[in-house]
Amino acid sequence: MTIVSTLFIADLHLSPRRPRIGERFAHFLRETVGGARALYILGDLFESWAGDDDLDDPFNAHIARLLGEAAQRLPIFIMHGNRDFLIGARFAHSTGIHLLPDPSVREVEGKPTLLMHGDTLCTDDHDYQEFRAMVRDPRWQAEFLAQPLSRRKAQIEALRARSEKEKAGKPPAIMDVNAAAVTNALREHGVKRLIHGHTHRPGHHTHKVDGRLCERWVLPDWYEAGGYLRCNPEGCELHPLEGD
Cβ-proximal residues to 176 (8 Å cutoff; 6+ apart), any chain:
122, 124, 199, 201
- Phi first, then psi, for residue 98 (nearest 5°) are -115, 125
Query: What does the pLDDT average to over 105-109?
Result: 97
Nearest in space to 141 (alpha carbons), one of 57, 45, 51, 54: 51
Q: How far apart are CA 73 and CA 164, in angstroms?
A: 37
Total-model pTM:
0.96
Instruction: Tell me the pLDDT band of 171, cut-offs 50, 70 and 90.
Output: confident
| 41 has pLDDT over 60 | yes
- Phi first, then psi, for residue 96 (nearest 5°) are 80, 15
* Residue ranges per structural domain of the chain: 6-240
| 242 has pLDDT over 80 | no
3.60.21.10, 3.20.20.140, 3.40.50.300, 1.10.3720.10: which CATH number matches 6-240? 3.60.21.10
Strand order in 212-218's β-sheet? 104-108, 111-116, 193-196, 212-218, 203-209
**Element housing 107 (H / E):** strand 104-108
Instruction: Tell me the pLDDT band of 1, cut-offs 50, 70 and 90.
Output: very low
Task: List pLDDT tens digits, range 181-212.
Answer: 999 999 999 999 999 999 999 999 999 999 99
Query: What does the pLDDT average to over 163-181?
Result: 88
Query: What does the pLDDT average to over 60-85?
Result: 98
CB-based burial, 75-107: b 16+ in 10 Å, e otherwise: ebbbbbbbbbbbbbeebbeebebeebebbeebe
| 243 has pLDDT over 70 | no
Q: How far apart are CA 199 and CA 169, in angstroms?
A: 16
